[in-house]
Structures are given as C-alpha cells and as structure tokens.
Structure 1
Amino acid sequence: MHAMSPQPPHYEEQYLDLMRHIWRHGDERIDRTGVGTRSILGATLRFSLADDAVPLLTTKRVYWKVAAREMLWFLTGDTNIRELVKQNVHIWTDWPLDSYRKATGEDIDRDAFEARIIEDEAFARQWGDLGPVYGAQWVNWPRYEPAGDGLFRRAAQGHNQIAALVDAIRTNPGSRRLLFTGWNVAEVAQMALPPCHMTYQFQVSDGRLNGLLFQRSCDLGLGFAFNIFGLSMITRMLAQQCDLEPGEVVWQGGDVHLYLNHADLVEEQISRTPAGAPKLRINRRPSSIFDYGIEDFEVQDYAPQAHISAPVAV
C-alpha cells in the first residue's frame, strides 16, 4: 500500500506567510503617510498561469474588474481620472481630491468631486490629471529631437514601450531586454504618485511567456492583490498577442509593508485558509494589445471568503 503523496500547498499560502512574517518581524517605522508601517526589504513570490490559473486571493474578495479596468486604462496612455471615474473606479481619486481641497479650501466629499469630474470637462482637465503616471510612460515615454542651435524639443510622439515590447517578443524572443518601466527619473516629481509597480520584465521559455514585476513599494494588505492580478493579466495578453502560452509570474517587492491601522485586516486574513483555483479567461483575440475591452476578460471558479475593508493611506 502506497502512502498518499501530500497535496502541494495552495498558491496563496506564500502570500499569507509573507504577511505573517512582516506583521510579526517587520521594522516598525513612520512612513510618508504618517500612519506607520511594519516593513521589510525584498520579497519574491511565484505563481503558475498554466491552464488559465490566476493568483487571485481567495481569503478575501478581490474586485478584479477594478484592476482590469485600471490596466486597460494604463494601456491607453490616459493620465486623467475622468475615464476611470466614469467606469466606477475610484482608486486614483484620493490624490487629485486631496490637491483640490488643499488648493481651494473647499471641504468637498469624494462623490461630489467625482460628479464634477464627470460632468465638467474643463474641471476634469484642471483637477483630474495625475501628471505623467504609468500610462504616459508606458506608451508615450518622452523623446527629444534637435531644434537647432544645440537645443532639443520634445517630439510630438513619444516612445511606445508596449508596442516595442510586443514586437521584440515576436522578433527577438531570446532577448534579455523584454521590459518596460514607469520610473522616468526626469518626471517622477510631476507625478501624483511615483510608480510603485515600476518595472515589468518578460522571458520567452520553451513556447511560454513568463512575466516578472519589480515593485519598489507594496502595501501588502491592500495593493498587492491588484498588482499580482495586473501582472497576470498583462502577461496573458502579451502571450496571446505573441502566440505563446502563459508560463509563470514572478513578483518581487522592494519595501513590502503593512500599515499599522490594518491590524484587523491582517489578523483576520492570516486566520483564514485559502481554497479554490480561479481561472482567468480571455474570450477574444483583438488585433493588437491596445484593443482589449473589459468584456474580453472573464474570471471563473472564484469563490472568495468575505471582503475585508481597510482604510487607504494617501
């Protein structure tokens, strides 16, 4: 009689282990937001994308369509919250709202601010822009051309890192330069929030596309769930566009932290047992990486435990 081979651990266990480690052993410090965190430097998690697998957290509900809509918005190059707010995505509103309140002294609530952003295009132009954040760098990284007298002027069209990446995966799959980044040193100071998920790198291996994200700063309690879904989603999109199978995704965190005011979230989540194997399906192959819509994505077999709410530190 043969002993039963033990079941491999659920993919989410490594996330919960990291959460436990940071909560119990992380360095406690005051951070930019003033809330305070427990933090470590350097963490790596790996997840398979085989058979449509997607590493959605099951120990709490993740609103994956919010992450998907944000990723599609990045790929348009847009940096104004107006299109996001129209789609009921509020994750970027706090930064322009904070700027507006400080500049005007008006004690406006988020709903009223977002309503004005949607209704008034001029107001949105003035108050809804985030500066040259992710999408601007991904698809329109500034290029400069000679303007005479030794001077340079900004070219009307920047460098599209995403289009170049698709071309490179197709034509030079052995390259070690299959990457894009949002960390434009010259423009970081103009951004509402410098890129956290800053550099994505890809590798073609035996007909599969692997994706890696280096994230300089990660709010493990709230942000990570969206970031790992976004990495999985864009890896799947690139694989589909380049006639490859999705392989695995590797997530690397720089400063990985938990906010001190997330104690309830952390204690509740690490007490839960992950279960299930959700799948991410892409229902159509558009003509380019820039032509996907939210309706092209479907998550199946996702039965998470109850949502856990926690405040965002701005």
Structure 2
Amino acid sequence: MTGTPSEASAPASSANLGPGFDCLALALEIRCRVRAWRSERWKVRHDGRHRPPPESADAVLAGAQAAVGSEHPLRLEVDNHVPIGSGLGSSAAAYAAGAAAALRSVGRPVDAHRIFRLVTALEGHADNAAAAVFGGLALVDPGGRVRKLTMSDAYGLMVLVPAFRLFTSESRSVVPERFELPAVVNSLSRMAALVAGLTSGEAGILRSALGDELHETSRNRLRPSVGKLIGEALNAGAVYAAWSGSGPSVLVLTRSSETGRVVEALSSSLGDQVEIACPSIASRGIV
C-alpha cells in the first residue's frame, strides 16, 4: 500500500422522525470515514468500535464496488463512528463514504446525485440516503428528488442509543402494508405539523406531531422498551421524541436552552443502560 489515500466521509442520520416514514431524515455529525488506495485486489480493514458483524455484508465494500466496478480493486480502511443496527443510518453512511472514496481513488468525479441514486438502490429506500449524501434536514419528494429544508435553531437534539441491536429487516417486517383511512389522515396531519414545527421553531406545533400509526405503533409492539424511552424523554422535558429510523435508538428534540437539563434528567433515570449522544446536525453530507 503506497501513495496518498483518497478520503471521504458521510454522516449518520435519523430517518422518519415519526410520521415522515421513508421520506424524511436528519443528518447527524457522527461519521463513517473511509480511506482508499489502488490495490491488486480488494481488501477492507475496519478500525474502531463500530464494525460490521462477521456474518453481514460489508456496506463500505459494496458502495465502493458499485461506484467504480469490481474490476478496479482498492484497499479500504474504515473508521466508523456510527453505531450499527441502531437506527442511525450506518449502512447509508457506509455506502456513501465507500462510494465517494472509491471514485476519488480512481480519479472520477464525486457526483452527489449519482451517489444518492446508488445508495438508494443499495438501501432500498431513499430517506437515509438523502441525509447521508446531502446532509441537513432532507425531504425526498414524490418524484424521488431531494429537497433540503432549513431546520430552526430553536431546538437542541440528542440520541438515546440502547445497548441492543435491531436490524432494519426485522423492524420493517412488522410494518403493515395496508392502513385504514383514519390512520392515513392522522399521519398526513402529523407530517404537516412535523415539518412546520421543525422549520418554524414553534415547539407547540412540533409537539402536536408526536406519535405515528404507520410504523411506530407496530414497532412499539416489537420492542416496547423503545416506546418507554420516548416516554422517558418527554417526561424529562423534551419537546419531541421519535423512533430513529428502524430503531432501537430514539431521536429527542428539546428547546435549545433546556438540552443540558434534559440530558441530566435522562442520565439520572436511564443510568448506563442507554448511551446519550448529543451530536450537532451535519449540514454537509459527503465530504
């Protein structure tokens, strides 16, 4: 392995945010970083705490090979800080960072729109892909285009990360394919309130978006402890809390002036069973 590596990183993300199922995600400044060198054969080394399980496919490798083709072997080194199997978009970040590092290594341009399409195809849904590639608060419109929304700075955020894993395949398997009309109407109303509250900074509107009948209700039955975490956060003074992606992590929003107090209250009530992270919003996706 010689020469200067090409590098790229992509952020974690919290998808859905309650009623924004499969179309809304928020990028978090927790990153998967990849370095790539030209090589005679494909090699991957993972450093750090968050590594893919031995039995699972390697998302960084998959992203790199999808971007440049398996006929251009690379040596990849991964420094991933995104918890895996925690509902924080680890696979989207890995696909995106792997693809961007690979493209730079072979001298090709890093086209964000192309990488977004690539990550969406690998993921099977576009919300985490949008946040990982473009950063910020990302909405995927009905035509599949990404619209970046401006989130109010009135909120502080934290993520509650339980020690156990819950993989997307299991979490998605319990989501119904059909819904009664009242549940759909409620979801539409909550989605409107969610976007209005996030962008305006009006906590009262945001709080009215709490709850979800499309995916959170069924997932709460699968993992009741996640619903209890949401309740703990609200009881501690949070404005809003929701499943982060497919879980089991919980995204928590507070008034910015009250974040420290809510963190202290949750630290006291949750003990060491749940990690409390307070990342900033990642305004940039791939870098």
User: Taking structure 2 as the reference length, what is the TM-score of the superposition?
Assistant: 0.29
